[in-house]
Structures are given as C-alpha cells and as structure tokens.
Chains A and B, each alone.
Chain A
Amino acid sequence: MNPQNLSIPILVPFLLALISFLLPSRIKWLRETVAVLGAAIIVYIAITFFGQKETFYTLPWLGHGIDFELRLYQFSQFILLALSGFVFLITLYSTVKMAGHSRVREYYGYIFLTAALAAGATLANNFVPLIFFWEGLLITLYALINLGGKNAHRTAVKSFIIGGFCDFCMILGIAILWSQTGTLRMSDISVLPQGLLAVSFFLMMIGAIGKAGAMPFHTWIPDAAIDAPVSVMALIPGALEKLLGIYLLVRITLDFYKLEINSPFCITLMIIGAATIVLAVFMALIQKDLKKLLSYHAVSQVGYMILGIGTAVPIGIIGGIFHMINNAIYKSGLFLAAGSVEHQTGTTELKKLGGLYRAMPFTALGFLICAAAISGIWPLNGFVSKEMIFHGSYETGYTIFTIAAWLGAILTFASFLKAGHAVFFGPRNPETPQVRENKSPIYVPILILAAICVVFGIYNWIPLKFFLEPILSGHLPAGETLNFSSHALALFNPIAMISMGCLLLGLGLHIYGFKRGGNKAYLVSEPIHHLPVLNTLYNWAEARVFDLYEQGIKFLQALSSFLFKFVDRPIDFFYERIVVSVGRACTGILKAAHNGYYANYLAWTIGGLVLIVWAIGALLR
C-alpha cells in the first residue's frame, strides 16, 4: 500500500466536515444525503485498509523527532474499521433523529470532524500528532455536547475540564517518556516501567482510562446522558471513547511498557477495573431514567475492559479488547434504542413508560438482544468476552477481582431486567401518548448492531481470528499459538457455571424486587436502594459527594474565596494602583507627546538622527 494513502482516512472526513459546514441549509435532503454517502465512503475506505500490510508514513514536520508519522497495522486497521462503522450507523440514525434540530449543520460537521480526529489518533505513530488529535477530540466533544438542551453548556464544560485534566496527565506522561527514551515515535518505544518511567506509566494510564471513562473520571457521562443529544452519547461515550481509550491503554500496557503478570501496575489496573465495575453498576441499578442508567453501564463496562487488560494474561487481554468492541456495539445499540423511545414518547423516564413492545417491535427486539448481550447471556458476544475476562482474572490468582466481576454481572442483569421490563413490558402507561415504530433509519442501525451481537457471540471465531488474535501475535513467546474459540462458548466449566448462576441470582433479585415494589417494574431496585448502609451511600452519591469534579469545584470555590480575600485583594491593589496607573501614565505621556505638531515630530526625527549618529560614533570608538 502506498504510504501516502495513510492520510486519506483523516483527510476525507475532514473534507466532509468542511462540506457539511458549508452546505446551504435550504436544500432539504442534500445535507442528509451527503452525510450518509460521506459516512459510507469512510466505511469503504476503512474496509479497503483492512487486512493491508503494516505501513508507515512520515511527513517531516517540526524536526527533532516531532514529525507527522502514521502507522497502519492490524490493531489500528481494526479500530479504524470499527470507528467508521459506528460513524456510518450513527449518521444514518441521525438523519431522522436530528432532523428537527436547529443546529444540524454544525452537528454533521462536528461528527465528521470527530471521525477525522479519531482516525488520526488511531493512526498516529508519533506522540505529538497523537496529542494533537486527542485534544481535538476534546474540543469536538465539547461542541457536540453543547448542541444539546439548556443545561448542556455546563455539562460540556465539565466534560472539557475532566478530559483536559486526563489529557494533561497524558501529556505529562508522554513528556517524561520522551525525556527518558529520547524518541517520540510510538512504534520504537518499549521500556520497563522503572523509576520515572513508572510515574509516566501512571500518568499515561490516567489519560487512557480517563478517555475511556473509568472511575473516577466518569462523572460527566451521566450528566451528558441527560443533556447531550442521544446520538452523540451513542457515538462518543458509547463507542468512540471506549475504542480510543482502550486502544491507547492496550498500546501502553502491551507496547510501550513491558508489564509482568501481577506486577503492581497490573494490580492497580485491576483494582481500578473492579472498582469501576462494582461502583458504577450499583449506581446504574437505582437509576430511574433509561439514558442515565445506560450511561452508568457505559462506565461499568469499562471496568471489565480495564480488568481484562490489567490481568496481563493473553486470554484476559483478548477478552478486554473483545469486550471493548462488544461493548461499543451493544452500548450504542442501547443508546440508540433509548433515543428511539425518546423520539416517540418524548421521555426516557422509566416511570412514564411501559408496554411499548407492541407499538415498537423492532426497537424492542434490538434493545432486548443488546440488553441480553450486555448482561452476558449465552450465546451472545457479551457472554464470550466476559467469560474470557473471568478466566483471565482467575488465572492471575486474585480471585477477589473475579468475584467483583461476578457481582457486577449479577447487578447488570438485574438492572437490565428492570429497564427492559419497565420500558417494553408490563401495562401501558396511560400518560404516554399513542406511539408507533420509528422510520427505518432509526431502527435499522439498532437491528444491525443487535445482529452483530448475535453473530459475534455464536460465531465468535470470526472476530477472534480476524481481529483480535493478530493483535497479540507479536507478543507471544515463539511457538505458542492462540486459539480461544474452542472454549469461548463452553458452558460446562466451573467459571461459566458460576456466571450462569449469577444471572439466575440477578433474575431472582428482580422478581423479589418486583413483588416488593407493588408490581411496578421501575421500582424493582428499591429494596437494594434502601439497604441500611447502601442507602446512605446512595444518598451521598446523589448529592454528588463522590463526584471528584463537583467536589473539586467546591474546593476550588472555597479556595478561591480564600485566595480572593487574602491573596487576590492585595495583588489587585498592587495591580490597580501600580501597574495600571504606571501603564496609564506612560500612555498619557505618550499621548501628550503625539500632539499633532509637524515641527514637534520633525524635531523628534532630527533629534533621533543626532542621537543615533552620536551613539554609532561612540560605539565605534
């Protein structure tokens, strides 16, 4: 493949973004047509790139090792394909969902810009372009959230600051890495995390998991679920950020740093992963809004991926990556289904919904398959990847993490039973208006995603063989081969049995809660909500006590009022009285000096001449 072609996946979406910004809004179907066709082109490009040989492309830029370098290899091909697939589906979906939005022109422009930047971040083989694209994604995310409702701006700022913090950590980490290794080319770096490099590992890890939305950098996602357009949620926190964040995390743990199994770094990752799974799923369980519930799951599932990658055993890593792609598929499917419901009923509050499966059969079908997949029901893809992660974490010997993951599985299933039950089954809520199925551009993407869930589950050798095993192939001891498909769907081993047991437990929990809640599906989680200790914790969580961002803001406010009184005022006094008055005095003198008299000006000129001639004479001596 011609190396120069490597910039095409970046340039084409960029051009499309420009076109979208410039297209006149008068012609009705033009913009949608262009968007869908453009997205199709992006997918086509990604397909042609798939399966190519490893290719490098270097464009000299700043010199000193800071060049515009791209690299196409198995992993980035795969991510690129996944990215463009999601962009296509979301664009298709948006043609109906976003049609009435007042700023739809900007919407498509930013979507394509996001696609361009994400492709750039995937292909980058030099840290500086990587940072460039990475930061660009932050800006498009900010812009896209801003397109939402009236509180959107606050959430957008929140996401921007949290993302900015994580990216800052990453840049710091990269800087340390650069100073230690002397190169910025990503494919050249492979070091042992010792001393300063360990610090840089942690910093870069924060950047990666922060992008993926793990605890404690997740808090903007539930807020954005309410404020941002749902298609944005499906695309960015649902799919893109997971893909990119986990992609970078895998690069860090596999390529840049050589990690030993059960080294402190791996343990840290596993702790973060397990904590994210459990805490987020507890939060998800009690949510009474479908979109918010989904967004907490988006966080919780990241925990599985991080846990899987943190195990550092091949099956765990593959499981983590597989879970990343699976999660992106069913999570965007779920978000899109939620959007579909919202599009018809105007709400996503569980209380106001019910019995929609008759009216919206396709949406219901898609939602159920995706929900089953996320809960890990045999034989869907979620089951396969979760099993691999369970196996991986079990192999490390720290069973506690496996147990945490199982706990997460129980509650995930319970919460989706609740959500599915409340939205699609049970009696129709009299308050909701008469609804019918949406147009095909809305449910087709959902069904496609659901179909992929099934295919990747039953025929799991397809993704495993074509997408995932090549990634690890370079990292195995010689002679060993990978073959996971044999036991991927095996039900009859202890771990799978336990998982299945967990699902039964989840079902039991649901039935118990349903009975207790007076046969109201949206109340099924109340028994857990009102458990003695948990209740307090939940109340705190609702009050955002655990939200580092909100707490940070509060702390900053306190700090700033302190600084205002004891530091700022004195400085301000200095500034007001001295700097400004000196500046004003200088300005005043100069203004008075330019008095408009020609003779005065000429005198300056001649005086200057005399002075210069004298100075040159004196300096020559």
Chain B
Amino acid sequence: MIFLFIIVPLVLAALMPLLGKISKRFLPDLLANATMLFLLVFSVISAKPLIANGGVIQQAFWFGAPINIRLLLDGFSLFMLFTISLVSFAVTLYSIDYMEQYGAKANYYALLLLMIAGMNGLVLTSDLFNIYLFLEVAAVASYALVAFGQGHDELEASFKYLMLSAVASAFILLSIAIIFGLTGGLGFGAVASGLKTLNIKYVVGFCSGLFLMGFGLKTALVPFHTWLPDAHPSAPAPISAMLSGVLIKVSGVYAMMRIFLNVFGLTPALTTVLTVLGMASIFVGALAALGQKDIKRMLAYSSISQVGYVILGLGIGTPLGIIGGLFHLFNHALFKSLLFLNAGAVEQSTGTRSLDQMGGLAKRMPLTAATSAIGSLSIAGVPPLNGFWSKLLIIIALVQAKMHVLAFLAVLGSVITLWYYLVLQHNAFFGKLNDTWKSVKEAPFWMSAATVMLALLCIIIGLVFPMIIHSWLQPAADVLSSGVAVTLNFIGF
C-alpha cells in the first residue's frame, strides 16, 4: 500500500496536538521517530520490490472499495521517497534533544509530519494539479517551521520566504491552468499526449518558462534563490537540514524534472537554459558563501551552489548526467543535512553562529568536529567520499556531452567549494580554543547519533557507490531518460 506514505504522516500529524496534551515530550518523540523509521523501512522493504519491473500505478482502497486515488510509483519517485525518509529519520532523531529549547514539541512534530506528508504526496502523484497542491502543503508547513523560533530573524525570513514562494506557486498554477486550458486534462499521461497532438511549441515554451521560475524558486536557482539564505539559517537546525536536504529537492528539482523530462520532453532550449542556470547557481552560491561569517548562512549559500550541480547534471539530459545529478541530489541531502545538524549542535553548545567567535571547538566537541569534517570533505568532493563520485559523474557527463567549458567551470566551482569549507572547518573547529568555550560540552546523545549516522553513510556510500547506483539510481535515471514515452504508457489514467 503506497498510500501509507501519505496517510500515515497525515494521520499522525492530526493526532500530534492531542498527544501533546497527554504527554509533552515522550509520546511525540517516540511516535514521530517510529513513523520515520517505519517510512524508511517501508520504502526499502515493501516499496522497492514493487517496481522491480518498472513503474506501477496503485489504487487506494477505502473500506474495501476502490477510490479514485491512483498513485504512481516508479524508480524516480521511490528514490525520492527513500531520500526523504532517510533524512527525515535523522532529523527526527536529532530533534529529540535539540527541540527541547523551543517547547511545543507536539506542534513541531505535527508540522514536520505534514511537510513530509506533503512531499510524499508530491512525489507519488501523477497529476499536475496535485503537484501544486502537495507542494503547498509542504510549503505552508515549512513557513511555520521556519518561523518556529518566533524571534525577529525567524519571522522576517519566514515572511520573505512566504511572499516569494506565494508568487512562485501562483506562476506554477498559472502554467497549470494554461495547460489545462489547452489540453483539458491534468494527469501526466493526458497532458503529455495532448501536447503531442497539439504541437504548439511557443505556448509550451512559455509554460516551461513559468514552471522554471516557479520550481526554480522552490529549488533556489539563481536568480530565484534570494529567500534561501534567509530562510534556511533562521529555521531551527533540524528544519534547516530538512529544507536544504530534501524540501528544495522534492518541491523544486523533482517536480521540475518530472514535468520537463516526463511530461514536456526535454528540448535543447531547455537544456541550455537549465545548464546556464545551474552554472550561475554554482558560482553565485559559492562566491557568496565565501564571504559569510554566519556558519548556517554559509551552508545555505552552499546549498544554492550544490543544487546548481544537481540541475546541471539533470539538465544535460544524457543518461550519465541524470545519474550524476540524482546521485549528487542524494549525496547533498546526506551531507548538507549533516552539516546543518552539526551547525545546530555548535549553536546549541556555544550560543553563537558566527565563525569569528568560534575556534578550536574540536577539542571540546570531537564528534561534531569529526562528522563535520567528513561532511565538509564530502561536499567539497574529496575522494573517496560520496560527494566526489557524484561530482565526477557530472563532470564526465559534461565532457561526454561536449560541454568542455562547463566541465571546466564545474571543476572550478568545486575548488571554490573546497576553499570555503576549509575556511569553515578551520574557523569553527580547528585552531586555538577560544577561552570562552572552555566549558562547552559535546552534543547530547541523540543529536550525535543522528550526525554519526549521516557521516557513516557518507563514507559507506563513497565506498560502495556502484551498488547504490545500480540498485537505486539506475531505475530512477531510467524513468527520467526514457522521457515522455514512459508517461504516455499511463495514458489510460
């Protein structure tokens, strides 16, 4: 039952406020973690065998009677489901200790679960309008979560995020309305076949421009990235991890790629625009990160830069590029959430996010420093960690596609990445211990558990990445690279 992916977090989110009345901490902690663990295991054990022979459409049942909810599960959506579940499990684990300081844990978990339900719904649907709808579910929950601290910064960030995001959603919906007006359908299959018979490339181009802007804003592509450096640092650390780790990818990259590759079909024009935007993101993000003093803001800019790589890889549209892009998406989900969680641990222990005030924390927080070093090296693309392989795949794909200049620029961007991560690592964890932090303690158990888990995954995946590519990425990439054809098979829907 794939439907459980949506309904379980939704029901639990509804129950959370009631549970919060009974038990302030224990029950919400337990249930939220149990849910995430269930989703993670479910996605690996139950859902994976379903797609052994390609995508399936599953119908939901209501008391034995079939109802009109048909969920599309294929390699791509399963891959995203797995990524979401993995990161959110780490995040809930981390939240057990971290969210104590904010209070209202039940409310927090309810919003987090809603966000996950929204993302899962987005990933599983096969209908344009539902994409918009579930995107909004996740987005509304994320506005509240960004502002969860109720401080001035949080509210300011959340307001800008909301206002820009609302415009983006509006443009996405406008584009959907136009397509609805042209084809009269909303399902992927109906739209794809309708557009095929209509042959109106300029209007489709206009619509893809609107989608690009809308989903690009959710993805934080330059020049639509402006909300991200405000919103991601202001959120509580687990939410930063969630937003940077998965939300921008699900509501941005997934939706964009699903529509462009499987519904519209990738045109050379789109490839050009996507690669240029990806490149711009890489550089703007990296250069802006270089000048940051706030550790979380630096990480946020770095997200822009890394998502640029993902878009660059996917935008090429060749099978290798798609694999590289998806792999980088997954890796970025791992190490960026790891780094945000570490930044949260540092902030909780020291009370500051400013890199200038830190220094030598490795002596007091060895585990945090070590995991953070793994994350930094991985994101900077140092072999044999996972980030290296995905960047390598993207660069090889660029060379294969005869885009040598872009390949060179991608390498250059990676060098800048290494630069500012060395700055981060050096200023925060190495060097002389600042006297202020003599009594700083290592992060509590669950927080360390989450970061260690992610760091270990970074290393293990770096070592066994061919297996990951074979079992998880290849089916996803097959779906994307087969283009519109795969969607037209579901035309009966």
B291 touches A (CB below 8 Å): yes
CA distance in complex: A587, B283 (Å): 10
Within B268-298, the residues touching A (CB, 8 Å) are: 268-270, 272-273, 277, 284, 287-288, 290-291
Query: Which residues of chain A are within 8 angstroms of B210 by Cβ–Cβ distance?
Result: 609, 613
Residues of B within 8 A of A602 (CB): 163-164, 167
Question: B329 near A: Cβ within 8 Å?
Answer: no
Contacting B at CB under 8 A, from A594-619, are 594, 596, 598, 600-602, 604-605, 607-609, 612-613, 615-617, 619
* Contact of B229 with A by CB under 8 A: yes
A590 and B223 contact, CB distance less than 8 A: no
| A427 contacts B by Cβ under 8 Å | no
Contact A609 B466 (CB under 8 A): no
A613 lies within 8 A of B209 (CB): yes
Contact with A along B152-165 (1 / 0, CB 8 A): 00000001100110
Is there an interface contact between B273 and A605, defined as CB atoms closer than 8 Å? Answer: no
In whole angstroms, how far apart are the Cα atoms of A228 and B213 in the complex?
62
Q: Do A607 and B291 touch across chains, with their CB atoms under 8 A apart?
A: no
A620 interface hit (Cβ, 8 Å): yes
Query: Do B269 and A598 touch across chains, with their CB atoms under 8 A apart?
Result: no
A591 touches B163 (CB 8 A): no
B side interface size, CB within 8 A: 39
Interface string of A47-68 (1 = CB under 8 A from B): 0000000000000111100000
**CB contact between B226 and one of A60, A594, A615, A616 (< 8 Å): that residue:** A594
Within B221-235, the residues touching A (CB, 8 Å) are: 223-224, 226-227, 229-230
In the complex, the answer to whether B208 meets A609 with C-beta atoms within 8 Å is no
Could you tell me the distance between the alpha carbons of A230 and B411 in the complex, rounded to whole angstroms? 46
C-alpha spacing A620/B229, complex, angstroms: 34
A587 with B291, Cβ < 8 A, contacts A605-B213, A616-B209 known: yes
State whether A605 touches B288 (Cβ < 8 A). no
Partner among B223, B277, B288 whose Cβ is within 8 Å of the Cβ of A587: B288
A570 within 8 Å of B (CB atoms): no
- Which residue of the partner chain, among A583, A594, A612, contacts B213 with CB atoms under 8 Å? A612
Given the known inter-chain contacts A598-B163, A607-B223, please indicate yes or no for A619 contacting B272, CB distance below 8 A.
yes
**B205 and A620 contact, CB distance less than 8 A:** yes
Please name all residues of chain B whose beta carbon is closer than 8 Å to the beta carbon of A596 when the two chains form the complex: 230
Contact B269 A616 (CB under 8 A): yes
Cβ–Cβ contact B160 & A601, under 8 A: yes
B267 close to chain A: CB less than 8 A: yes
Shortest Cβ distance from residue B50 to the other chain A in the assembled complex, whole angstroms: 24
User: Is A594 within 8 A of B288, CB to CB?
Assistant: yes
Choose one: B159, B212, B226; the contact of A604 (CB below 8 Å).
Answer: B226
A258 interface residue (CB < 8 Å to B): no
Per-position binary interface string of chain A over residues 575-591, scored 1 when its CB falls under 8 Å from any chain B CB and 0 otherwise: 00000000110111011
Q: Are B209 and A609 in contact (CB under 8 A)?
A: yes
Find the A residue at minimum CB distance from B465. A62
Whether B273 lies near A615 (C-beta < 8 A) is yes
* A607 / chain B contacts, CB cutoff of 8 Å: 223
Closest-CB distance, B450 to chain A (whole angstroms):
18
CB neighbours of B408 from chain A (8 A): none
Please provide the chain B residues from 46 to 91 with a CB less than 8 Å away from any CB of chain A in the complex. Answer: none
Residues of B with C-beta under 8 A to A61? 464, 466
Distance in angstroms from A618 CB to nearest chain B CB is 8
Interface of A, secondary structure class, is helix
| Secondary structure of the B contact surface, majority rule | helix
Contact of A594 with B229 at beta-carbon distance under 8 Å, contacts A605-B164, A609-B210 already known: yes
Q: In the complex, which of the residues B160, B212, B230 contacts A612, with contact meaning CB atoms closer than 8 Å?
A: B212
Distance between Cα atoms of A600 and B164 in the complex (Å): 11
A601 in complex: contacting residue of B164, B208, B216, B269, CB < 8 Å: B164
Task: Looking at the assembled complex, report how far the CB atom of B323 sits from the nearest CB atom of chain A, in whole angstroms.
Answer: 13
Q: Is B402 interfacial (CB 8 A cutoff)?
A: no
A616, B213: Cβ atoms closer than 8 Å = no
- Distance in angstroms from B359 CB to nearest chain A CB is 22
Please indicate the chain B residues that have their CB under 8 angstroms from the CB of A60 in the complex. 466
Query: CB of B26 within 8 A of chain A?
Result: no
Contact of A620 among B167, B201, B216, B230 (CB under 8 A): B201
| Alpha-carbon distance between A62 and B206 when the two chains are bound, in angstroms | 43
B209–A601 touching, CB < 8 Å: no
Binary interface profile of B, 247-275, with partner A (CB < 8 Å = 1, else 0)?
A: 00000000000000000000111101100
| Residues of chain A with a CB closer than 8 A to B284's CB | 590
Whether A609 lies near B291 (C-beta < 8 A) is no
Q: CA of A613 to CA of B160 in the docked complex: distance in angstroms?
A: 24
B189-223 CB contacts (< 8 Å) to partner A: 201-202, 205-206, 208-210, 212-213, 216-217, 223
Give the Cβ gap from B295 to chain A, nearest Cβ, in Å: 16
Would you call A616 and B270 a contact (CB within 8 A)? yes
**Chain B residues in 8 Å Cβ range of A62:** 466
A582 nearest CB neighbor, chain B only: B287
Closest chain A residue to B384, Cβ basis: A132
Residue of A nearest to B280 (CB): A608
Which residues of chain A are within 8 angstroms of B268 by Cβ–Cβ distance? 619
A586-B287, A587-B291, A612-B212 known; A63-B273 Cβ under 8 A:
no
- Chain A CB within 8 A of B171 CB: yes
Contact, CB under 8 Å: A590 / B269: no
Cβ contacts under 8 Å, B416 to chain A? 583
CB distance from A615 to the nearest CB of B (A): 6
Task: Assess whether A619 is in contact with B269, with CB atoms less than 8 Å apart.
Answer: yes
Residues in A with CB closer than 8 Å to B226 are: 594, 600-601, 604-605
- Across the interface, do A616 and B287 meet the contact criterion of CB distance under 8 Å? no
List which A29-81 residues lie within 8 A (CB) of chain B: 60-63
Closest chain B residue, CB of each to CB of A617: B205
Closest-by-CB residue of B relative to A612 is B209
Chain B residues, Cβ within 8 Å of A600: 226
Report B461 CB to chain A, min CB distance, Å.
Answer: 14
Contact check: which of A598, A608, A619 meets B224 at CB < 8 Å?
A608
B212 cross-chain contacts in A, Cβ below 8 A: 612
Interface 0/1 of A281-325, CB less than 8 Å to B: 000000000000000000000000000000000000000000000
Interface positions, chain B 420-473, Cβ under 8 Å from A, are: 464, 466
Whether B223 and A605, one on each chain, are in contact in the complex, defined by CB atoms closer than 8 angstroms, is yes
Scan residues 386-440 of chain B and give those whose CB is less than 8 A from a CB of chain A. Answer: 416
Taking CB as reference atom, which chain A residue is nearest B466?
A62
B291 touches A588 (CB 8 A): yes
> Which of A591, A609, A613 is close to B288, meaning CB atoms less than 8 Å apart?
A591
What residue of chain B has the Cβ atom nearest to residue A60's Cβ?
A: B466
B208 close to A616 (CB less than 8 A): yes
- CB <8 Å contact, B160 and A608: no
Cβ-defined contact, B213 with A609, below 8 A: yes
Chain A hits for B270, CB < 8 A: 616
Is B223 touching A608 in the complex (CB atoms < 8 A)? yes
Contact check, B205 vs A584: say whether CB atoms are below 8 A apart: no
What is the CB-to-nearest-CB distance from B371 to chain A, in angstroms, rounded to a whole number?
15
Q: Which of A60, A591, A605, A613 has the most CB of B within 10 A?
A: A605
Q: What's the minimum C-beta distance from A619 to chain B, rounded to whole angstroms? A: 3
Least CB distance, A605 to chain B, in whole angstroms: 5
Q: Which residues of B contact A609 (CB under 8 A)?
A: 171, 209-210, 213
A 207-235 contacts with B by CB, 8 A: none
Cβ of B160 and Cβ of A598 under 8 Å apart?
A: yes
> Bound complex: CA of A602 vs CA of B159, how far in Å?
13
Residue from A60, A584, A588, A601 with most neighbouring chain B CB atoms (10 Å)? A601
CA distance A429 to B466 in the complex (A): 64
Across the interface, which residues of A come within 8 angstroms of B272, CB to CB?
615, 619
9 A-B interface contacts by CB (under 8 A): A587-B290, A588-B291, A602-B163, A605-B213, A608-B223, A609-B213, A612-B273, A617-B202, A620-B267
In the A-B complex, the 10 residue pairs with the closest CB atoms:
A619-B269, A587-B291, A601-B226, A613-B209, A608-B223, A609-B213, A590-B288, A616-B205, A604-B223, A586-B287
Excluding A62-B466, A600-B226, A616-B269, 4 further A-B contacts by CB distance (< 8 Å) are A586-B287, A602-B164, A604-B223, A612-B212
